Amino acid sequence: MKLKNRLLIAISLLGGIALSSCLSYWGKDSYNSLDDLMINETAMDRTYHDYTENSYFKIDSTPSLGNPKLLVVPIWFSDSSAYISPNNKEDIRYDIYQAYFGNTGWYSVRSYYEKESRGNLSLGGTVSPWYECNKASSYFYTNNKATNNLVCEVVDWYFSLEDSEERTSFDFDTNGYLDGVMLIYASPDYVSLGNNNASNMWAYCYWLQDSSQQDRCKPGPNTFFWASYDFMYDEATSGKRTGRSSYARGDNSYCTIDTHTYIHEMGHCFGLEDYYDYSDNAYNPAGGFSMQDLNIGGHDPYSVLALGWSKAYIPTESGKITIHDFQSSHDLILLTDSFNASKSPFDEYLLLELYTPTDLNELDAKHSYMGKYPTGSFKPGIRLWHVDARLVQVVGDSTINLTPKYDPRVGNVIFMMSNTYDDGTNNPYMTPLGKDYANYNLLQYIRNDTKETYKSNSMLSYRDLFLEGDTFTMEDYQDQFVRGTRLNSGANLGWSFKVMSLSNTTATIAVKKA
């Protein structure tokens, strides 16, 4: 789902010195002579929460570590009875609770992130009684401001209830903002309504960014989520409590409540971007099969790393590294010309993971989400990612300091890149860079295809994974990098690799430094 009114301010640092690769002189068989590397995994010292706390935009994020608490409020419009029988109100409310904190037959929002964070995050929270809005759903069809005002009304209402919990218990990081407010409205989304003019009736994460609202009571609302109840159910039975999911098409043996949309939007609440292309080009930089791309599977390893849930092997010399499958271990190999001293994920590098169709990937590898989404690969292989999560700093209201920032704590920072192929014609920040900007991505899945380009529209498949015996050099795969044999920064990566062995649970990668 698209972040509402997302402002794309992205700057690419062009330039750099052209350096020869020095990789080609290595014979492919020379990988066999490399020794095992005895290195420890490196934890990141910065996370997305550091970024949102210091972003140029006045945003916030749900803490991705510890025990934050969500306020989930079902919204009843004056015309909601046209879609839900009043007799079923409590049944729907119960399903909302199950979707967030209970048992869905797959994962709830809480159990999904507990699994993915390896126990480093446990979302708590409450599902309030229905809030009687006393306005028709049509009042919100195109009225974004009305939704923002509703967030504030709902928060004031809930904390005025006699049995409500203390406000401070919903501010885990004590930064003055509620950890997250989730409004689940009792009206179909605009697609189910068949009304393209009701564009506000969708699912999105947004931020109030209004100090007058935020400062009325502390902690006040900022990060919020707005979505229809019908995302829990099969589209053919929207408006009814059937217990059927969008997978099942009437067969509830897979999962009884579909939480994919809520899980995806929760990723935005943590600060994550969408990784699909917003433009009309229909490119597919991240390969589709990941939660912040097409709402399916687990999250990509960059997101997991940047949320503080993973560590990475960062070699400085040639050798062999054995990793376990990412779903069970979160093992990663990070290849870079030189890693930043602040141990921040907001940098440019390559990531290698052992993809497997297990755990959070399993259901979506077996069954096509909504009957039309890709299932990805049901066999294991190495998935290779090009990350360019460097930051730049906004000075004043509009001046950009083009020197890349790796530590978000410098303040007023924004991402240089996005996954949208937008040439910046309508954005004064990007216009000086010309149309070349459109080709750079924050996160790009590198296909195992030397004929593929950085404008791929293919989805994750088995043929795109690196398998035993496969090798990678920047020369061979240069068409998937905007600057050919160089990184976006202009630097040489300085690494090649070969997959020495691969199974369902482990892979040994030989990495070679130029």
DSSP state, residue 458: P
Same domain, 262 and 282: no
Give the residue numbers spanning the domain of 166: 69-269
Note whether residue 248 is domain-resident: yes
From 269, 301, 333, give the residue that closes a domain.
269
From 252, 269, 286, give the residue that closes a domain.
269
DSSP state, residue 55: B
DSSP state, residue 237: G
Same domain, 505 and 452: yes
Same domain, 111 and 172: yes
DSSP state, residue 420: -
CA distances (Å), origin 214, targets 51, 169, 235, 239, 268: 19, 17, 36, 34, 20
Note whether residue 9 is domain-resident: no
Same domain, 416 and 318: yes
Q: For residues 372-387, b (16+ Cβ closer than 10 Å) or e, as one string?
A: ebbbbbeebbbbbbbb
Strands 319-324 and 333-335: unpaired
Q: Which of 231, 244, 242 is nearest to 185 (CA)?
A: 231
Q: Are 508 and 324 within 8 A, CB to CB?
A: no
Q: What is the pLDDT of residue 205?
A: 96
Contacts with 314 (C-beta within 8 Å, 6 or more apart), sequence order: 39, 42, 334, 336, 339
The dihedral over CA atoms of 206, 212, 215, 216, expressed in degrees to the nearest 10, equals -110
Same domain, 183 and 236: yes
Q: What is the pLDDT of residue 20?
A: 36
Note whether residue 168 is domain-resident: yes
Note whether residue 63 is domain-resident: no
The Cα–Cα gap between 236 and 468 comes to 44
- The structure tokens listed for 449 are 């295809």
The Cα–Cα gap between 307 and 330 comes to 12
Note whether residue 231 is domain-resident: yes
Note whether residue 17 is domain-resident: no
The Cα–Cα gap between 252 and 235 comes to 14
Q: Which of 47, 106, 112, 108 is nearest to 72 (CA)?
A: 108
Same domain, 189 and 308: no
Count of domains forming the chain: 2
Same domain, 359 and 387: yes
- Give CA angle at 119 (118, 121), nearest 5°: 110
The Cα–Cα gap between 349 and 191 comes to 39
The Cα–Cα gap between 26 and 470 comes to 15
Note whether residue 22 is domain-resident: no
- pTM here? 0.92
Note whether residue 372 is domain-resident: yes
For every one of its 514 residues, what pLDDT tens digit does the chain have, with 9 covering 90 and above? 544 333 333 333 333 333 334 444 445 568 999 999 999 999 999 999 999 999 998 889 999 999 999 999 999 999 999 998 899 899 999 999 999 999 888 999 999 999 999 999 999 999 999 999 999 999 999 999 999 999 999 999 999 998 889 999 999 999 999 999 999 999 999 988 899 999 999 999 999 966 555 556 779 999 999 999 999 986 555 445 545 566 655 555 677 889 999 999 999 999 999 999 988 888 999 999 999 999 999 999 999 999 999 999 999 999 999 999 999 999 999 999 999 999 999 999 999 999 999 999 999 999 988 878 889 899 999 999 999 999 988 887 777 777 889 999 999 999 988 898 875 554 555 555 556 678 899 999 999 999 999 999 999 999 999 999 999 999 999 999 999 999 999 999 999 999 999 999 999 999 999 9
Same domain, 214 and 156: yes
Q: What DSSP assignment string belongs to 292-305?
A: HHHS-SS--HHHHH
Same domain, 113 and 179: yes
Same domain, 97 and 246: yes
Q: Are 350 and 384 within 8 A, CB to CB?
A: yes
Same domain, 296 and 181: no
Q: What is the pLDDT of residue 434?
A: 54
From 269, 297, 316, give the residue that closes a domain.
269
Same domain, 87 and 46: no
